[in-house]
Amino acid sequence: MNTNLRRSWCAAALAVVSITVTAEAQTSDNGKCSTLPSYSQLKSALTSARQQSNGGFDLDMWGTVVDRDGIVCAVAFTGDDRGSQWPGSRVISAQKANTANAFSLPGLALSTANLYAAVQPGGSLYGLQHSNPVETLVAYRGNASNFGHSNDPMVGFRIGGVNVFGGGLALYNKNKELIGAIGVSGDTSCADHNIAWRTRHTLNLDFVPAGVSAAGDDNINYIGLVPDPSLANDFSHPICAIAGEDKVSDISAKLPPIQKPDEQ
């Protein structure tokens, strides 16, 4: 195949892929996003949560919300611009949201932090992290200047991806209906979990029906801080020590409790 023909074929193939991806976004049911936080609501709640003590490095964050079908509804960041937080954490936040949504049920929530121990070699869910890969044409499409804004190029598309450390939480409304998930990334994975938890609480979407934590919700279970054997220990996560010091587990233990419908 000569060079010009090869270039023409590649250009045609890319055009077909682009048309297919665009059509998917245009035909997907984005009505479900209307029941989830808007871009401005996500950014406000995420920024408020990031400004609290979370046991990490006090870094700026990315946050993503997906609906129950895994369609991205909103992406936001807390810093001055898209370079103020780790650029790689944008897609990680979307992965976490997709994971929490994909592996939570109407009656049982699993945070991404709950999955860590079970996916290690020899664990009951080993290999899970290699399933449901990220859709790279969605993750890296569009103009980077729009990343983290209301017109982020991921919005309206199904992102995919599985992430198995802290920062992803399912979203339940006051009727305990599972309507999607949030993913947060940009600091240690333990701090990410705390920030995601506080963000969800501010958004009033933490009516979690049940979970595998020591408290029966989807909070993080730190390895070595729960009885062994126990359900919580089976779904545990390492403590994110900083210079060998645990600055996070006490914060995680004192996060706002999940809400109940009669509290409204």
Percentage of the residues of the chain whose pLDDT score is greater than 90: 82
Name, in order, each residue with C-beta under 8 angstroms of 2's C-beta and a sequence gap of 6 or more: none
Assessment of whether the complete model's pTM goes beyond 0.85: yes
**What kind and span of H or E run contains 65?**
strand 62-67
Lowest-confidence region among 21-35, 112-126, 152-166: 21-35
**What kind and span of H or E run contains 183?**
strand 178-185
Predicted pLDDT of residue 208: 97
- Write down the residue that tokens 């699993």 correspond to: 110
Residue 128 has pLDDT above 50, yes or no: yes
- Write down the residue that tokens 């990334």 correspond to: 185
Is 86 in contact with 79 (CB distance < 8 Å)?
no
Residue 31 has pLDDT above 90, yes or no: no
Strands 62-67 and 72-77 come out as antiparallel
Predicted pLDDT of residue 58: 98
Residue 30 has pLDDT above 70, yes or no: no
Instruction: Give me the chain's average pLDDT, please.
Output: 91
Is 154 in contact with 137 (CB distance < 8 Å)?
no
Predicted pLDDT of residue 27: 38
Predicted pLDDT of residue 234: 92
Confidence of residue 225 (pLDDT cuts 50, 70, 90): confident
- Write down the residue that tokens 């999940």 correspond to: 258
DSSP string, 102-121: HT-BTTBB--GGGGTGGGST
Q: Of the candidates 69, 93, 50, which has an alpha carbon nearest to the alpha carbon of residue 202?
A: 50
Task: Give 240-259 pLDDT, tens digit per residue.
Answer: 999 999 999 999 999 999 99
Residue 206 has pLDDT above 70, yes or no: yes
CA of residue 58 relative to chain centroid, distance: 19
Distance CA 67, CA 248 (A): 29
Predicted pLDDT of residue 28: 44
Is 28 in contact with 156 (CB distance < 8 Å)?
yes
Percentage of the residues of the chain whose pLDDT score is greater than 70: 88
Domains of the chain with bracketed CATH:
30-263 (3.30.450.150)
